[in-house]
A and B are shown apart, each in its own frame.
Chain A
Amino acid sequence: MSATIARTLDLRGLSCPLPIAKTAQAIRDLPAGELIEVLATDPGSVPDFAAWCTTTGHELVERTEGGGVYRFVIRKTR
């Protein structure tokens, strides 16, 4: 498992459901075990990414927030 971020997705400004949908699209091309970093400004993405990780089984490694931007680091598990 790698600790470096393989890909960053800048989804700032997008509204539901695009942050989740675009992350789902992007994560397909990523090998399992890799990390993806997502930047979003939609406040709804906070519960949504948690729910999405619970359902898909991907691991929400980190969640930080600053200046109105939510940053999620997700490990693709399968």
Chain B
Amino acid sequence: MAWSGDLDKIWPTFILGTTGAAMGMETTIFFTFWGLFPLVRNDVHITGENWMQKMMSMMNRGGTEHLGLSKMNFAGMGPAMMKKLAEEHKVASPNELLEVARDLGVHLVPCQMTMDLLGLTKDDLIDGLEEPAGATTALLEAQDAVTLFI
């Protein structure tokens, strides 16, 4: 369950999702609220239909390359340093992990309600996602499963 768009929350979400699939577990990530923004294509800047949604997307640009840290963000300097450190230590970037996750068959489910609320269309989102779904689908997937809320 990815409900946060913070870099430091999406990163472990992708790490655990990828690992789960690598372990042969049926793995689904449900992206909701701010957690949906990392699935926005990196080349899409402004999303939304009305001024409120557009304004929100300007202040909270989507895409794996534009995520901020939940603490020590320092107007983007924190994430830049974090990415530099990750590169030095050969820690896979969220983007790379997303590629591996898709290849290993992790189901990436965007929340339909969030898409409606924030004015995101399928064209705004990256390829390889499942059909947008709702809370019922998320909870059905979660039945008899380990669920992490990150």
Contacts and interface: CB of A to CB of B under 8 A. Distances in A.
Interface residues of B, number: 16
A14 interface: yes
B104 A21 contact: yes
Contact of B90 (A15, A21, A55): A15
A25 B104 contact: yes
Contacts of B71: none
Interface in A12-32: 13-18, 20-25
Interface string A32-44: 0000000000000
Interface residues on A, range: 10 to 19
Nearest to B96: A18
A18 B23 contact: no
B56 interface: no
Contact of B100 (A13, A18, A52, A56): A18
Contact of B18 (A14, A15, A21): A21
Contact of A15 (B19, B25, B89, B104): B89
Given A55-B23, A55-B24, A56-B23, A18 B104 contact: no
Interface of A: 13-18, 20-25, 52, 55-56
